[in-house]
Amino acid sequence: MSLNSFLSHIKAFLAESGQIAWPLFRIMVPISIGVKILKELGVVEILGHALQPLMQALGLPGPMGLVWATAMVTNLYGGMVVFISLVHEYPLTVAQATVLTSMMLIAHSLPVELKIAQKAGARLLAMTVLRIGSAILYGFLLSHFLYITKLLLRPNILTWTTQVKETTWGQWALGEVRNLVMIFFIIVALVILMKVLDRIGVIALLTRALRPLASLVGIGCNAIPLTIVGLTMGLAYGGGLIIKEAAAQSISKKDIVFSLSFLSLCHGLIEDSLLMWALGGNLAGILAGRLLFTLALMYVLVKVTSRFSKEHFERYFFVSSRP
């Protein structure tokens, strides 16, 4: 390959990555600022107190509502910091830690991730109800299953801890800029990887292998590669690709909704699951159980919505004119 050809490929990769990253950054930057303001105003703590009765109904200490509230409004890392600050005062069993971390995995980073889903075409209300409702439902089912079977009742002992640091606005802004730069280069790597996998036939092979399962949960073949990216890397990356394909009208409305619904409940399987495992969540509950729960719920969702007319489906699940 000549130098000019190599440079032209690099420019093409950067241009395509920019087309994916720009809509994401337009969503993430203002919402990150808004979330920081809400956190400074104490809104997250108020939400945590409001969730105390729900936590107690799920067999968790009431103050752990602040952990889930922080994860929902900020991200998993914010929830982890609050978890560590509370766990010595409110010790948990492994079962309780598994329930809490499973709920955090299903419903976290909602301001950013819900906006990404909306940008791709999914209804904001539908995705909000799906994520929060599914987190509560899975937490309820998992809590009662572990209580009845008396599994994972040993004390949850953290083998590590961290310092809770108060950051200034300047430190926070610098951290956010670093995050955006890292996200852009991850997107570049994903674009290159997807091109390579497509060229050597891996995408076609995965598509054929996952076609029966994807069909079961309502995801068409064109959306399978994008769903795989979201499953492994996270909703921001998979959602960014879906936004791009949706704008090009290369995937159907139902594929968009069902793919986003699936990813909303089960994404970042590797990194996110390992983070929650570090807090004491059992992998059988936070990974295998969550995946099976997602497949079952998606099967029900597909069956129920198959009875909807096209107009009713779009009214409740799809934004015809995306923002």
Between CA 258 and CA 315 the distance in angstroms is: 15
> Does position 142 have pLDDT exceeding 50, yes or no?
yes
Q: Which distant-in-sequence residues (6+ apart) come within 8 Å of 129 by Cβ?
A: none
CA 262 → CA 28, 55, 62, distances in Å? 21, 25, 29
Q: List b or e across 59-94, with b for residues whose CB sees 16 or more CB atoms inside 10 angstroms.
A: bbbbbbbbbbbbbbbbbbebbbbbbbebbeeeebbb
Lowest mean pLDDT among 87-96, 162-171, 216-225, 302-311: 162-171
Structure tokens at 246: 């949706």
- Of 239 and 302, the structure prediction assigns the larger pLDDT to 302
- 253-265 and 310-317 helices, crossing angle to 10°: 40
274 - beta bridge partners?
none
Total residue length of the chain? 323
Residue 322 predicted with pLDDT over 50: no
Query: Is the pLDDT assigned to residue 88 strictly greater than 70?
Result: yes
> What pLDDT does residue 6 have?
72
